[in-house]
Chains A and B, each alone.
Chain A
Amino acid sequence: MKYVDEFRDGKVARNLARTIAAEVQPERRYHLMEFCGGHTHAISRYGLRDLLPPEVRFIHGPGCPVCVLPVGRIDSAIELARDHGAILCSYGDPLRVPASGRMSLLRAKAEGADIRMVYSSADALKIARENPDREVVFFAIGFETTTPPTAVALRQARAEGLKNFSVFVNHVLTPSAIQNILESPEVRELGTVPLDGFIGPSHVSTIIGSRPYEFFAEEFQKPVVIAGFEPLDVLQSVLMLVRQLNEGRAEVENQFSRAVTREGNLKAQALVAEIFELRDRFEWRGLGEVPYSALRIRDAYRDFDAEVRFELPYRSVPDHKACECGAILRGLKQPQECKVFGTVCTPDNPLGSCMVSAEGACAAYYTYGQFTKITAVAEAS
């Protein structure tokens, strides 16, 4: 696979790992938060931890859009399909997220709600065109990466005068979440969460650019390296962070220069600004209410806002008492430190959000086996 295999070369990886091992200073620890679920997934899928020295430790951040979606929002999505009779169009990975009362979008579908998996916002538009007698709602979730396609769908719906299409917007913002983590008392004052640097999101940064992270590097003195999702990208970014920390620097560096610029995609930013505005607060699963951390549809497009059209009230629902997703998303705990991890809470029967999506920290740990020490008797011959 051209443009992919180059970033999965085992030899290069082992060389990089040797360089990292040679450069880490044995007396210090390097706690690196990978904000994005895509990085968590790559780290687990390629067994990157095995290649790195023990001084480097990954902390899994809240950058999985499925993991941070609060229960109340899933409840509302189910309500749209079940109680308002709408065709609810959703991306694949929110379908299994647990909602209230052991419900989920998949279970609601099995019980008769018209919930359809789509691969893009354009698919939802198509369904709306094909079902003029039905209300069709696009369940829009995701960080800055998936926001522009939602904006395009809204603009298109208005241009076509689609009367039966609306969007239930749950788009959230990366910088606000990072700031929230850095400003948490645990990180800022108590020092209970050692957090030395960030592996920054790549896809998000193709849209917003690298500039928004400069504030964190300066204000909180934490280095940030924007990293691609391929395993070599992650290893190279670890090396860049190790070097910054060794040299006492805290800057924004861009490992993913093949797609990210400082300014980002200005056209996409303008489109998003035309259609969306900031919500003054939004609940994140695990992080609670975070001010100015999500988007809603501007008044000019309010006819297409499902929350307005269906008068959806938001009801906050507490997470399961035993679930420690909140602590895991903030880096306070590792997945296997949660009491229900791998017992009550598994990918087949997720209790908390981190176990649902393949990109969730708990699901990655469970699926790829970092939860237990395994001794293999026979090595590959």
Chain B
Amino acid sequence: MSANPKTVKRGYIRPLDLKHGKVEMAHGGGGRAMAQLIDELFQLAFDNPWLRQANDQALLTRPEGRIVMATDSHVVAPLFFRGGDIGSLSVHGTINDVATSGARPLWLSAGFILEEGFPLADLKRIVDSMAAAAKAAGVPIVTGDTKVVERGKGDGVFINTTGVGVVPDGIEISGDRARPGDRILVSGFLGDHGVAIMSLRENLSFSTSIQSDSAALHELIAAMIAAAPGIHCLRDPTRGGLAATLNEIARQSGVGMTIREDDIPVREEVDAACELLGLDPLYVANEGKVVAVCPPESAERLLAAMRAHPLGQDAAIIGEVVADEHAFVQMQTSFGGRRNVDWISGEQLPRIC
């Protein structure tokens, strides 16, 4: 009679040196070293029944309702920043992509591309942070993959996460549903993540207390939907910031938008950092904010529900959807002037003077 595989001792000669060790090509080679990395790091940190099966896939019970799936690759530099790291970011980002459909996120996958020579201690820090983020969100990481690339061919760690969730019946949230008259809301201060990251970039160290806003938004979104089931659009304004998100929704829905500069929440520190660098906070990335478009009659109710949640306490109604065949996003400046808020061209580059 063969032994139960779950009780078989792995028998690695010595444990992974998570303090001083480095990622080696063998960690992605499919042999014992890779098995050990998975056992002693990923499996241990992400532990759940699906992973414990140790298959190449997770066997999941089909949930009721429409299934939502989203994937995102994370290549952030630096890997660690105030308010988070690439690990928690990779969990939050994908949960948010699933949740902005109105879905309840159920499972995540995690794919790692590691660069040869990357310190195992840093990898452990990232993996622990991912595990903590997934646990806090109640969304387990049920399957994964690890590859190692030669030194110089990666940037330390890249992480791809895919998320699956289900949308309750009756919820119809999509970027093409904005209608003239709808109100536009944001869940809080814009630009925190982008400024926190920029302040740590090489050649650009400036002192700021700004933390990344990286957070999983599914519970806030669930509260929003409970208060206003008729929400038309939800989106998290990540790369490209609020400006890109509004332009995307405007184009998808074939409508215009008018926002009011005075009503858009931006922290003074973020405003100041942007001023210094010649950037516009409307284009700076966020990782824990959501933009909502809803019918006018439910706007106040939605706003109250957002403000009642810790992640939405600084929420604001920032503008309206208007009829416009050009699908322009325009802003009423605090001066009473009007200007376009266009897509960004390439990346924002700092001005000379």
Asked if A46 is at the interface of the complex by the 8 Å CB criterion, the answer is yes
Asked if B135 is at the interface of the complex by the 8 Å CB criterion, the answer is no
For residue B176, give the distance in angstroms from its CB to the closest CB of chain A: 19
A49 surroundings in chain B (CB, below 8 A): 337
For residue A340, give the distance in angstroms from its CB to the closest CB of chain B: 16
Which listed residue (A10, A106, A143) contacts B336, Cβ 8 A?
A10
Asked if A354 is at the interface of the complex by the 8 Å CB criterion, the answer is no
A96 surroundings in chain B (CB, below 8 A): 346, 349
Question: Which single residue of chain A is at the shortest CB-CB distance from B257?
Answer: A376
A146 surroundings in chain B (CB, below 8 A): 352-353
Residue pair B351, A376 in contact (C-beta under 8 Å): no
A368 surroundings in chain B (CB, below 8 A): 339-340, 342
Would you give the 0/1 interface string for B315-351, flagging 1 where the beta carbon is closer than 8 Å to chain A? 0000111111010101011111111101001100111
B 191-209 contacts with A by CB, 8 A: 203-204
What is the number of residues of chain A that contact chain B, defined by CB distance less than 8 Å? 52
| Partner-contacting stretch, out of A26-34, A87-95, A151-159, A314-322 | A87-95
For residue A163, give the distance in angstroms from its CB to the closest CB of chain B: 23
B 164-204 contacts with A by CB, 8 A: 180-181, 203-204
For residue B249, give the distance in angstroms from its CB to the closest CB of chain A: 16
B262 surroundings in chain A (CB, below 8 A): 10
Asked if B271 is at the interface of the complex by the 8 Å CB criterion, the answer is yes
Rounded to whole angstroms, the CA-CA distance of A306 and B328 in the bound complex is 46
Question: Which single residue of chain A is at the shortest CB-CB distance from B272?
Answer: A1
Asked if B239 is at the interface of the complex by the 8 Å CB criterion, the answer is no
Rounded to whole angstroms, the CA-CA distance of A369 and B337 in the bound complex is 12
B345 surroundings in chain A (CB, below 8 A): 346-348, 367
Asked if A14 meets B260 with Cβ closer than 8 Å, knowing A1-B271, A143-B353, the reply is no
Asked if A359 is at the interface of the complex by the 8 Å CB criterion, the answer is yes
Residue pair B352, A142 in contact (C-beta under 8 Å): yes
B324 surroundings in chain A (CB, below 8 A): 374, 376-377
For residue A223, give the distance in angstroms from its CB to the closest CB of chain B: 24
Residue pair B351, A93 in contact (C-beta under 8 Å): yes
B334 surroundings in chain A (CB, below 8 A): 8, 10, 46
Rounded to whole angstroms, the CA-CA distance of A235 and B189 in the bound complex is 29
For residue A53, give the distance in angstroms from its CB to the closest CB of chain B: 14
A65 surroundings in chain B (CB, below 8 A): 352-353
Residue pair B335, A13 in contact (C-beta under 8 Å): yes
A377 surroundings in chain B (CB, below 8 A): 180, 256, 322-324
Interface centre among B322, B332, B339, B350 (most CB of A within 10 A): B339
Q: Would you call the interface of chain B mostly helix, strand, loop, or mixed?
A: loop
Asked if A190 is at the interface of the complex by the 8 Å CB criterion, the answer is no
Asked if A378 meets B258 with Cβ closer than 8 Å, knowing A141-B352, A143-B353, the reply is yes
Rounded to whole angstroms, the CA-CA distance of A377 and B323 in the bound complex is 6
A 347-381 contacts with B by CB, 8 A: 347-348, 357-359, 366-369, 372, 374, 376-381
Interface centre among B340, B342, B352 (most CB of A within 10 A): B352
Asked if B275 is at the interface of the complex by the 8 Å CB criterion, the answer is yes
Tier of interface size on chain B: 35 or more
Interface centre among A4, A367, A379 (most CB of B within 10 A): A367
For residue B280, give the distance in angstroms from its CB to the closest CB of chain A: 8
Residue pair B337, A359 in contact (C-beta under 8 Å): no
Question: Which single residue of chain B is at the shortest CB-CB distance from A4?
Answer: B275
Would you give the 0/1 interface string for B211-244, flagging 1 where the beta carbon is closer than 8 Å to chain A? 0000000000000000000000000000000000
Asked if B138 is at the interface of the complex by the 8 Å CB criterion, the answer is no
Would you give the 0/1 interface string for B276-298, flagging 1 where the beta carbon is closer than 8 Å to chain A? 00101000000000000000000
B64 surroundings in chain A (CB, below 8 A): none
Rounded to whole angstroms, the CA-CA distance of A65 and B352 in the bound complex is 8
Asked if B17 is at the interface of the complex by the 8 Å CB criterion, the answer is no
Residue pair A379, B258 in contact (C-beta under 8 Å): yes
Residue pair A50, B320 in contact (C-beta under 8 Å): no
Rounded to whole angstroms, the CA-CA distance of A38 and B275 in the bound complex is 12
Which listed residue (B180, B258, B328, B337) contacts A46, Cβ 8 A?
B337
Which listed residue (B204, B330, B335) contacts A119, Cβ 8 A?
B204
For residue A325, give the distance in angstroms from its CB to the closest CB of chain B: 17
In the assembled complex, 21 residue pairs joining A and B whose CB atoms fall closer than 8 Å, in A order, are: A1-B268, A1-B272, A4-B275, A8-B334, A10-B334, A46-B339, A47-B336, A48-B335, A50-B336, A50-B338, A91-B352, A93-B352, A95-B349, A142-B352, A145-B353, A346-B345, A348-B346, A358-B349, A367-B345, A369-B328, A376-B338
Closest 4 pairs between A and B when the two form their complex, measured CB to CB: A47-B337, A369-B340, A92-B349, A347-B345
